[in-house]
Chains A and B, each alone.
Chain A
Amino acid sequence: MKSQDMHSEQGHPTDTETTLALLQATVEAVADGVLTIDNEGAIVSYNKKFVDLWRVPPSIMIEGTFEAHIISYLKRLLVRPEDLPTTTTQRVDFRQAETSGTLETTDGRFINFFAQDQVQEGTVIGRVWSFHDATDQIKAEQRAYALMEELKRSNQDLEQFAYVASHDLQEPLRAVTGSVQLLARRYKGKLDPEADEFIGFAVDGTRRMKTLIVDLLAYSRVSTRGGSFAPISTEKVLAQALVNLSAAIEQNDAKVAHDQLPVVFGDAGQLALVFQNLISNAIKFRQDAKPPTIYISTQYLADQNMWQFAVRDNGIGIEKQYADRVFVVFQRLHTIDEYPGTGMGLALCKKIVTRHGGRIWVDSTPGEGSTFYFTLPSVEESTQS
């Protein structure tokens, strides 16, 4: 850019002048603060946003100021001056043709910078710096991150609390249970009938409390005491669950049939609990007139590289409005007298399936039966790239 070329003799703008004016107008109109320097480090141009963003005093932005001077001014505004490269001429190799980063200013702003060579016909003729105020975005990210960390920590605290509480409640519960049971054995029928009734309530209460604590402990152990994941045969996992349920299956004349079941990636002990809870629910919530019939089928979901399991029963079913609620901790749909239990079984299933990266849900027709679905990670090589 040589000044003698810039004006025609008539005083009308030349093509070059028009182009430069257009360029300057464009640079003023971009979202960023822009600074252009030549190969010697002398300022070629800058826009108002650059001056405003960095609050550069006019004494610095004078003609002939060198890049190094401006950069050292900018560095004084930074929490970590080393984040900003001293000069672009530090660059020794072409791979560093672009530099970028985020700067934190002492007045609490975050400014993203980007610097790139200006290349004309294959030759580097200078360099363009652009700066963008990213304070809002970065602060929002920091807030989101802090919230997430806080949530993670409070979840961990809660798990730890549930674990310790349920664990430490066992000892005092033992004391109460042991005492009322000894009382029942020694004094049943020796006091008045009301005393027997009270002792009966106490014994019953301690039994219920015991199952609550055991279930809560199992729930909190899903994440605090979970085993590592490995390829496991769900066929074997189901077999284990059926052994554990053999008494209930026999008593209810239940029929359990299944497709050939796949190998998944998971924690065998926990997945056995999922099958065990779903099947024992199918037996517990049976219809009086029909022996429980349970069928377990699977389907490979190629798009997710997951296996979907379906546990179908012919039980009493669940009304639609409760379909999500059944997975909530301690949520029960029936009284203790109708169906025993703590309301933890499906919450436990959900926690285990979620820990495996899967989902669990139910599809049900009251009076006909329910199908519980859940997904587990496949061990197949993912077809997704």
Chain B
Amino acid sequence: MTTTFSPDLLEILLVEDNPVDVKVIQEAFKEARIASHLIVVTDGEAALEYLNRTGKYRDATQPGLILLDLNLPKKDGREILEEIKSDSALKTIPVVVLTSSDEADDIKHAYEHMASCYVQKPLEFDEFMTVIARLRDFWLSSVKLPDT
């Protein structure tokens, strides 16, 4: 089967500073045959610039889904989440927190600030694949997303 998952125009913004995690996620996207465009920014400020279409991201399009790491340089993921969810133009974008942390405080904070879900990054590639496949099946297939 060679089905690819590419809902029209859907862009996915990955906010992730760890280059190996970026590689692993890109690899997993490839294996999961997700054709959606994956844009990678590596710190919190860049993420906000991208979303607000400022600085070097003036021509960016609004992503349909955000994969957000929590521990980031400059502005961390917790702040990014708060800013996204208190911005009327951005708050409808689903945010999937994807982090290595399993701290109870982080999980609570994420849901308190309207994260759509919280996923701990697995260490094993096979488990990572499972997670990405599930995200694909849910966010890119089962659910209806607002127009961007």
> Interface of A with B (CB < 8 Å)?
170-171, 173-175, 177-179, 181-182, 185, 206-207, 210, 225
Q: Which of B18, B71, B125 contacts A181 (CB 8 A)?
A: B125
Q: Which of A182, A185, A210, A225 contacts B123 (CB 8 A)?
A: A210
- Measured as residues with beta carbon below 8 angstroms from the partner, the interface class of chain B is 10 to 19
**Stretch from B21-29, B47-55, B60-68, B85-93 that touches the partner:** B21-29
Complex contacts, A185 vs chain B, CB 8 Å = 27, 125
Complex contacts, B59 vs chain A, CB 8 Å = none
In the complex the two chains form, is B124's CB within 8 Å of A181's CB?
yes
Complex contacts, B148 vs chain A, CB 8 Å = none
Q: Is the interface of B mostly helix, strand, loop or mixed?
A: helix
In the complex the two chains form, is B125's CB within 8 Å of A170's CB?
no
In the complex the two chains form, is A174's CB within 8 Å of B71's CB?
no
Complex contacts, B123 vs chain A, CB 8 Å = 173-174, 177-178, 206-207, 210
Which chain B residues in 105-138 approach chain A with CB under 8 Å?
121, 123-125
Which 4 A-B residue pairs are closest in the complex by CB-CB distance? A178-B20, A181-B125, A175-B20, A178-B24
B105 nearest CB neighbor, chain A only: A225
Complex contacts, A178 vs chain B, CB 8 Å = 18, 20-21, 23-24, 123, 125
B100 at the A interface (CB under 8 A): yes
**Cα of A173 to Cα of B100 in the assembled complex, Å:** 11
In the complex the two chains form, is A171's CB within 8 Å of B125's CB?
no
Would A171 and B71 be within 8 Å (CB), given that A181-B124, A182-B125 are in contact? yes
Complex contacts, B121 vs chain A, CB 8 Å = 174
Taking the closest CB of chain A, its distance from the CB of B96, in whole angstroms, is 18
Q: Is the interface of A mostly helix, strand, loop or mixed?
A: helix
A173 nearest CB neighbor, chain B only: B123
**Cα of A279 to Cα of B55 in the assembled complex, Å:** 58
**Cα of A174 to Cα of B123 in the assembled complex, Å:** 6
Task: List 19 additional contacts besides A170-B100, A182-B27; criterion CB under 8 Å.
Answer: A171-B100, A173-B123, A174-B18, A174-B20, A175-B18, A175-B20, A177-B123, A177-B124, A178-B18, A178-B20, A178-B24, A178-B123, A179-B23, A181-B124, A182-B20, A182-B24, A182-B125, A185-B27, A207-B124
**Cα of A185 to Cα of B124 in the assembled complex, Å:** 12
In the complex the two chains form, is A174's CB within 8 Å of B27's CB?
no
Q: Can you name 13 A-B residue pairings with CB atoms under 8 Å?
A: A171-B100, A173-B123, A174-B20, A174-B21, A175-B18, A175-B21, A178-B123, A178-B125, A179-B23, A182-B27, A206-B123, A207-B124, A210-B123
Complex contacts, B18 vs chain A, CB 8 Å = 171, 174-175, 178
**Cα of A264 to Cα of B125 in the assembled complex, Å:** 42
**Cα of A171 to Cα of B121 in the assembled complex, Å:** 11
Complex contacts, A171 vs chain B, CB 8 Å = 18, 71, 100
B31 nearest CB neighbor, chain A only: A185
A178 nearest CB neighbor, chain B only: B20
Complex contacts, A170 vs chain B, CB 8 Å = 100
**Cα of A52 to Cα of B127 in the assembled complex, Å:** 81
Q: Which of A175, A206, A210 has the most CB of B within 10 A?
A: A175
Complex contacts, B21 vs chain A, CB 8 Å = 174-175, 178
Complex contacts, B71 vs chain A, CB 8 Å = 171
Complex contacts, A177 vs chain B, CB 8 Å = 123-124
**Cα of A206 to Cα of B124 in the assembled complex, Å:** 10
**Cα of A178 to Cα of B24 in the assembled complex, Å:** 7
**Cα of A170 to Cα of B123 in the assembled complex, Å:** 10
**Cα of A174 to Cα of B100 in the assembled complex, Å:** 9
